[in-house]
Chains A and B, each alone.
Chain A
Amino acid sequence: MEKFTTHTGIGVPLRQSNVDTDQIIPAVYLKRITRTGFEDALFSAWRKDPSFILNQEPFNVGSVLVAGPDFGTGSSREHAVWALKDYGFRAVLSSRFADIFRGNSGKQGLLAAQVAQDDIELIWKTLENAPGTEVTVDLASKTVTCGNVVAPFEIDDYTRWRLLEGLDDIGLTLQHEEDITAYEATRPSFKPLTLPARTS
């Protein structure tokens, strides 16, 4: 995974709560079997509306999305994270993230930074008053800076460390393969196996 230390880019105010993963990427785009190339799919329904924020300059080249509470609710589709990244976003700021979305972000190097709603409101105002204002997200100090606004953000320590180091999750776990094998030896025999297949 790519390292994430700090990022500065144009902030995009998305004044909306409950931005669900069906909005981030509609199901029709989930038929693809690749992990990249989803930039056209991001917010595809909303992007048909000329007044949508990503259809306005300079927000169309933004890389820090500043959203309302409960971002990423709904489906477990990691495609939502891929689409945000493919479009060019490196960080999403929200006061509340859906758990699965937050987890998926951490695996893919998209920073999901939890910022208090009061601070989100201040950042929204700054970005709306001066479109094109850059937002700096610093993972080492866990702060976000936008104009005069400097706010702390939360992220769990383990995800932060993996992002800072750019570490692959599977590789880390496989360091403990002996523990996995030892655990498997203790599993009760009544637990089901899918093979050989039994059917009604």
Chain B
Amino acid sequence: MAKTLAEKVWDAHVVRKGDGEGANAQPDLLYIDLHLVHEVTSPQAFEGLRLAGRKLRRPDLTIATEDHNTPTLDIDKPIADLTSRTQIQTLRNNCEEFGVRLHSLGDAEQGIVHVVGPQLGLTQPGMTVVCGDSHTSTHGAFGALAMGIGTSEVEHVMATQTLSLKPFKTMAINVEGTLRPGVTAKDIILAVIAKIGTGGGQGYVLEYRGAAIRALSMDARMTICNMSIEAGARAGMVAPDETTYAYMSGRPHAPQGAEWDAAVDYWNTLRTDEDAVFDVEVDLDANTLEPFVTWGTNPGQGVSLSAKVPSPEDFGDENAKAAAERALQYMGLAAGTPMKEIRVDTVFLGSCTNSRIEDLRAAADIVRGREKDPKVRMLVVPGSARVRLEAEAEGLDKVFKDFGAEWRFAGCSMCLGMNPDQLEPGERCASTSNRNFEGRQGKGGRTHLVSPVVAAATAVRGTLSSPSDLDPAPASAALTTDAA
């Protein structure tokens, strides 16, 4: 029978077929190939193992890093926040006790868990990947079935290396055409979420398809899959191809020699069959897409950057109308205001959505040779220590510092403000992260989700801006490019 990519990966991991219909019918039990662990959602799971006298079944399929709580300044000093310090110390103790590989703050492989897995080559096509973090969907960019789970499920995977999973439905997101300059993967996914809504993907695994997706790099595909959860989806996937293999080749944990050949033979089978049927198909035209930005307090509340802040009256549904009213009030915005007239206080370039080397390069290309709006604070937080080193080798740190941005150490940082990187009440931020929820980046903070190039252009002008709004950079800017 013809199958979609997601169904193929699912079927290859069934340890025990479910009991079918019936009041106590167990669902399929799936094997988990890789379990990523961080300090926030794991302490209670490790404690659960201890209390039940259970072992960690597969330390060799488990890896941990410190990311949510870690400071992005003064990383050589003890963590100032005592509860953060305790949580990180707890992870270190647990990893030692249970034999888990851990990349701690200060280690060259430390960083955001969803940046670390792929860069080590541990995320590979056709795998099942889980983590106690909703943005685990990131790893779907490789053609893996990757899902965020709660702490009870973290403990379940630790004890059994499996999960009992309810069957999912499949949705194709077809993005045909070619993106225009200044329009990026982030704009694709923000437009998808605005189109299907924050609940549109509930119960579905999304597969991103079409010419515009095939043309994207791995970093860009990860940005798209990362935000699948913002549409409510269980997971998002892109079928592996030559772009995937080129990214994987030579990475520390990529297969080598004959193993590589065997792996590629298998990976080549991981395509949705031509006659397979998706439960739902959604089309998006890349040719007409513009830079996209959110105006509200959920990721579905987005518009083109050239549009105006919508009015609650624009929404037919009563719940959507009420949500819009509330969002405008929280965001301190008046309906009808052009998005490009909105002034920001802070620009945040970072998070598991947009903190990879290409994101930093794209933003650096915009700010190089330009001056930052003096009233705007800009934070650049690489996704991992490795990304930071790579960027520094290319001179990107200097570009950002010359521009007036702060160059930080790796971590989740201001995406969720568990560390000191937070917005003040009422402060407005153009952020390359994934959630514009009330208070997400700091109590009372106001978030507009944007792409890295929009973030960079906004830091120049001080108002939400696309690169095409900028005056040409001074000719001398070209000279600094040579350093890269």
Contacts and interface: CB of A to CB of B under 8 A. Distances in A.
| Binding partners A and B | yes
Contacts of B149: 76, 100, 103
A180 B31 contact: yes
B26 A31 contact: no
Contacts of B104: none
Interface stretch (B180-188, B257-265, B285-293, B465-473): B257-265
A77 B151 CA distance: 7
Interface stretch (A10-18, A50-58, A126-134, A146-154): A10-18
Contacts, number: 230
Given A23-B437, A158-B27, A180-B31, A73 B322 contact: no
Chain B CB within 10 A, most for which of A20, A190, A195, A199: A190
Nearest to A160: B23
Contact of B323 (A18, A26, A177): A18
Contact of A169 (B61, B136, B152): B152
B443 A99 contact: no
B223 interface: no
Interface string A17-34: 110101100111011111
A192 B150 contact: no
A98 B31 contact: no
A187 B31 CA distance: 10
Given A31-B83, A190-B259, A198 B156 contact: no
B319 A193 contact: no
Given A22-B438, A98-B232, A173-B29, A194 B62 contact: yes
A103 B150 contact: yes
A136 B266 CA distance: 53
Given A22-B435, A23-B438, A180-B15, A31 B69 contact: yes
A14 to B, nearest CB: 12
Contacts of B133: 75-76
Contacts of B136: 76
B160 A99 contact: no
A121 B440 CA distance: 29
A199 B109 contact: yes
A192 B26 CA distance: 29
B101 A199 contact: no
Interface residues of B, number: 97
Given A74-B437, A158-B25, A20 B298 contact: yes
Contacts of A70: 197-199, 232
Nearest to A73: B198
Contacts of B166: 156, 158
Contacts of B323: 16-18
B363 interface: no
B151 A78 contact: yes
Contacts of A161: 23-24
A17 B320 contact: yes
Nearest to B234: A99
A187 B124 CA distance: 14
Contacts of B319: 17, 68-69, 117
Given A17-B320, A158-B24, A77 B161 contact: no
A160 B166 CA distance: 13
A176 B41 contact: no
Interface string B259-286: 1101100100000000000000000000
A161 B159 CA distance: 22
A33 B23 contact: no
A76 B134 contact: yes
A145 interface: no
Given A161-B24, A183-B31, A191-B127, A170 B156 contact: yes
A199 B108 contact: yes
Nearest to B412: A27
Contact of A99 (B24, B29, B127, B203): B203
Given A22-B438, A104-B152, A96 B199 contact: yes
Nearest to B33: A191
Given A16-B323, A17-B319, A73 B15 contact: no
Contacts of A15: 322
A193 B90 CA distance: 24
B310 interface: no
A18 B435 CA distance: 12
Contact of B61 (A35, A160, A193, A197): A193
A70 B231 CA distance: 11
A33 B150 contact: no
A157 B25 contact: yes
A7 interface: no
Contacts of A183: 15, 31
B87 interface: yes
A189 B320 CA distance: 50
Interface of A: 15-18, 20, 22-23, 26-28, 30-35, 45, 68-70, 73-79, 81, 96-100, 103-104, 107-108, 117, 156-158, 160-161, 169-170, 172-174, 176-177, 179-180, 183-184, 187-195, 197-200
Given A22-B439, A76-B150, 20 more contacts: A17-B322, A22-B416, A23-B438, A28-B418, A30-B68, A31-B86, A33-B44, A45-B443, A74-B230, A75-B134, A99-B202, A104-B150, A117-B319, A158-B166, A170-B159, A173-B160, A173-B162, A184-B31, A187-B31, A190-B262
11 contacts: A17-B323, A35-B44, A45-B439, A76-B134, A78-B41, A98-B202, A99-B232, A100-B134, A170-B52, A180-B162, A200-B386
Interface of B: 15-16, 22-27, 29, 31, 33-34, 40-41, 43-44, 47-48, 52, 54, 57, 59-63, 68-69, 81, 83-84, 86-87, 90, 101, 108-109, 119-122, 124, 127, 132-134, 136, 148-153, 155-156, 159-162, 164, 166, 197-199, 202-203, 229-230, 232, 234, 251-255, 259-260, 262-263, 266, 297-298, 319-320, 322-323, 326, 386, 416-418, 435, 437-440, 443
